[in-house]
């Protein structure tokens, strides 16, 4: 397993094994998983488990790679805050000129706390914006509102009129394009709650243009998440391009096209061609249908930027066998990382310390302590024999990990640390039970 992770060119570089020799004559070898230059056991010794660990250089490198992929098109990268909303990560991206895609007033407040100047690069999306949230976004000076229904359009117009301003709007159109992804994160079909059917968009744009407090400036589309085939993106944007031409003929000044996010990552296998080539393929699929329109392109990557840059480190508390079925009971649980329970999502799991030997594998379920049968990280997974008190790393957990964490079973949420080279920064303290009780009467 060590050689496989080290040798494949597509394996994200933030987490790699490094050789460590032990013994008086240092003849015993083992391999220890590192985040950048820091051995994970050292982090665990100081901060405990479960522990989220992120590589800052990897986040920055993937953002830069994504940005370069669109260098031939006028564009703004608006990082999807819902993927991982930690303030330090938002600050890290804001310092590099990144914009942000938010879907709630709380996410907007996080962006403003990270960098108040970033407001003019914020896109406000989401199917259920409240008037209070829209008012806050208008006051902050957000770049664009992606409006998802006629009712929301008039609510936004009302809020803008009250503030004596004009809200910049794009309608999120639903292109009815199928994306090969989990049904919970597919958003581009007519049966989904998101967006306005594209065939009705022209009439709604005409209505919006008549509102003095609205400024029609764009078209938005988003077909889903964790999509690894770029063809559906191209199909969706081709339909958007047709709509833009019609809208311009109608007299609308369409300046922006928000292509959404959704580019997936390789959870099971390393990125076959490398992230740079994957991002370039995505950029071609998105940009080609829009090439003659002269629009400013908005992109909303999230998972593809932070997903492979994070890992959840957990301790094996117990080994257990039920009639031949083997379990590793770890101290992390579904409340810390719910993706496997929610989507049956796959995460590669590796031992943090790996001996220099060709140990036989065993088939195990890796499960947490929460009182639910759905509390698992892997089922029937082949792993080398893992002893109690050993550490495991659940990889590719930088996106939709801590962002979806909860306090189910009155469990405190993990600490988060951000690693850069040899430096470590705690970016979220481990919760205490007192923190959970504080708001209760």
Q: Tell me: pLDDT of 184 over 80.
A: no
Listed in sequence order, the residues at least 6 apart from 26 whose beta carbon sits closer than 8 Å to its beta carbon are none
Q: Tell me: pLDDT of 45 over 70.
A: yes
Could you identify the residue written with the tokens 């379990």? Answer: 327
Tell me, what's the pLDDT at 358? 67
Q: What pairing do the DSSP bridges indicate for beta strands 196-197 and 28-35?
A: unpaired
How many other C-beta atoms lie within 10 A of the C-beta of residue 229?
12
pLDDT band at 282 (very low <50, low <70, confident <90, very high): very high
| pLDDT tens digit sequence for 386-408 | 999 999 999 999 999 999 999 99
Q: Tell me: pLDDT of 9 over 70.
A: no
Poorest-pLDDT segment among 38-42, 245-249, 323-327, 424-428: 323-327
Domain ranges of the chain: 2-55+308-437, 70-301
Q: Tell me: pLDDT of 130 over 90.
A: yes
How would you class 193 by CB atoms within 10 Å of its CB: exposed for 0-12, middle for 13-18, buried for 19 or more? exposed
- Containing H/E element for 425? strand 423-428
How many other C-beta atoms lie within 10 A of the C-beta of residue 272?
11
Distance from C-alpha of 53 to C-alpha of 43, rounded to nearest angstrom: 9
| pLDDT tens digit sequence for 236-271 | 999 999 999 999 999 999 999 999 998 989 888 766
- Say if CB 433 and CB 48 are below 8 A apart: no
Q: Tell me: pLDDT of 72 over 70.
A: yes
Q: Which one of the listed residues 60, 98, 159, 371 is annotated catalytic?
A: 371
Tell me, what's the pLDDT at 117? 94
Note whether 2-55+308-437 and 70-301 share their fold: no
Tell me, what's the pLDDT at 228? 84
Give the three-state DSSP class for 347.
coil
| pLDDT tens digit sequence for 361-382 | 999 999 999 999 999 999 999 9
Architecture label for domain 70-301:
Alpha-Beta Barrel (3.20)
371 catalytic residue (yes or no) = yes
2-55+308-437 maps to CATH 2.40.37.10: yes
The whole model's pTM is what? 0.92
Distance from C-alpha of 332 to C-alpha of 366, rounded to nearest angstrom: 10
Distance from C-alpha of 124 to C-alpha of 78, rounded to nearest angstrom: 10
Listed in sequence order, the residues at least 6 apart from 322 whose beta carbon sits closer than 8 Å to its beta carbon are none
pLDDT band at 21 (very low <50, low <70, confident <90, very high): low
Q: Tell me: pLDDT of 15 over 80.
A: yes
Listed in sequence order, the residues at least 6 apart from 373 whose beta carbon sits closer than 8 Å to its beta carbon are none
């Amino acid at each position: 397993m060590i050689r496989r992770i080290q040798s494949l060119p597509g394996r994200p570089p933030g987490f790699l094994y490094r050789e460590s020799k032990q013994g008086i004559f240092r003849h015993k070898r083992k391999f220890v998983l590192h985040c950048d230059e820091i051995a994970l056991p050292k982090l665990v010794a100081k901060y405990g488990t479960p522990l989220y660990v992120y590589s800052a250089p990897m986040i920055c490198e993937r953002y830069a790679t994504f940005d370069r992929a669109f260098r031939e098109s006028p564009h703004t990268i608006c990082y999807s805050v819902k993927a991982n909303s930690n303030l330090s990560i938002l600050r890290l991206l804001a310092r590099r000129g990144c914009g942000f895609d938010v879907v709630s007033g709380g996410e907007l407040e996080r962006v403003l706390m990270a960098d108040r100047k970033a407001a003019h690069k914020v896109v406000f999306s989401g199917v259920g914006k409240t008037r209070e949230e829209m008012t806050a976004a208008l006051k902050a000076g957000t770049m664009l509102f992606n409006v998802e229904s006629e009712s929301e359009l008039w609510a936004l117009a009302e809020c803008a009129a009250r503030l004596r301003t004009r809200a910049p709007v794009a309608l999120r159109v639903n292109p009815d394009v199928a994306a090969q992804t989990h049904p919970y994160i597919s958003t581009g079909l007519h049966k989904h709650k998101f967006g306005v059917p594209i065939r009705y968009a022209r009439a709604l744009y005409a209505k919006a243009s008549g509102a003095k407090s609205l400024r029609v400036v764009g078209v938005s589309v988003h077909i889903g998440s964790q999509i690894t085939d770029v063809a559906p993106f191209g199909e969706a944007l081709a339909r958007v391009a047709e709509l833009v031409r019609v809208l311009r003929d109608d007299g609308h000044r369409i300046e922006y096209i928000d292509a959404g996010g959704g580019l997936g990552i390789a959870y099971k296998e390393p990125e076959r061609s490398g992230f740079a080539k994957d991002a370039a393929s995505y950029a071609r699929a998105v940009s080609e249908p829009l090439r003659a329109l002269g629009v400013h392109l908005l992109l909303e990557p999230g998972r593809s930027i932070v997903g492979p840059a994070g890992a959840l480190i957990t301790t094996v508390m117990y080994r257990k066998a039920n009639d031949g079925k083997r379990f590793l009971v770890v101290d992390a649980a579904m409340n810390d990382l719910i993706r496997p329970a929610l989507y049956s999502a796959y995460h590669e799991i590796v031992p943090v310390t790996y001996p220099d030997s060709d140990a036989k594998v065993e088939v195990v379920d890796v499960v947490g302590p929460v009182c639910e049968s759905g509390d698992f990280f892997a089922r029937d997974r082949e792993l080398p024999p893992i002893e109690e008190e050993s550490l495991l790393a659940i990889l590719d957990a930088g996106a939709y990990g801590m962002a979806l964490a909860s306090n189910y079973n009155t469990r405190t949420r993990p600490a988060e640390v951000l690693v850069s080279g040899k430096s470590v920064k705690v970016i979220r303290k481990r919760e205490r039970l007192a923190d959970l009780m504080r708001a209760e009467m």
